[in-house]
Amino acid sequence: MKIGRIGHNYGNIISGNGKVVINGKEYQGRNITIVGNQVMIDGKVYEGNEEEKAIHIVINGDVESLDLDSCEEISIYGNAKIVKTVSGNVKCNVIEGNVSTTSGDVITKEIKGSVSTMSGDIIES
């Protein structure tokens, strides 16, 4: 699963067979795009979402790459290769590559790569 820039107005998620949950709504498709408050799956508009101030992202599967401006929390039920956020907590099973957040905690079971946060804690449990 590869995830492009997700931020205030735009996000792109390219997945194989993983499921992505954004603010409690589950999405599955090869290409999930978020533009403003609309979600498009494989080029088809599925619904308009209310503007959410706190974004919660749950990914059921491994993440190749995720680059995002800000969210409340990212929970990855799989392994992470590259995750970068400006603001938001990151939870995942195993960090295989690099995970960085400017402001937020990183919680993982195992670190095989590198983890950095400027304002937050790194918790390996």
Q: Residue type for 124, please?
A: E
Over residues 104-114, the pLDDT tens digits come to 999 999 999 99
Distance separating alpha carbons of residues 121 and 107, to the nearest angstrom = 8
For 68, the 3-state DSSP assignment is strand
Return the bridge partners of 34, or none: 11, 39
Q: What is the DSSP string of 51-117?
A: P-SS-EEEEES-EEEEEEEEEEEEEEEEEEEEEEEEEEEEEEEEEEEEEEEEES-EEEEEESSEEEE
| Better pLDDT: 42 or 114 | 114
Cβ partners under 8 Å of residue 25, min gap 6? 39, 49
- CA 109, 110, 113, 117 torsion: positive or negative? positive
All structural domains of the chain with their residue ranges = 2-124
Q: Is the pLDDT of residue 91 over 80?
A: yes
pLDDT value for 9: 45
Q: Given pLDDT bands bounded at 50, 70 and 90, which one contains residue 63?
A: confident
Q: What average pLDDT score do residues 45-54 get?
A: 62
Q: Is the pLDDT of residue 5 over 60?
A: no
Task: Answer yes or no: pTM beyond 0.85.
Answer: no
pLDDT value for 117: 96
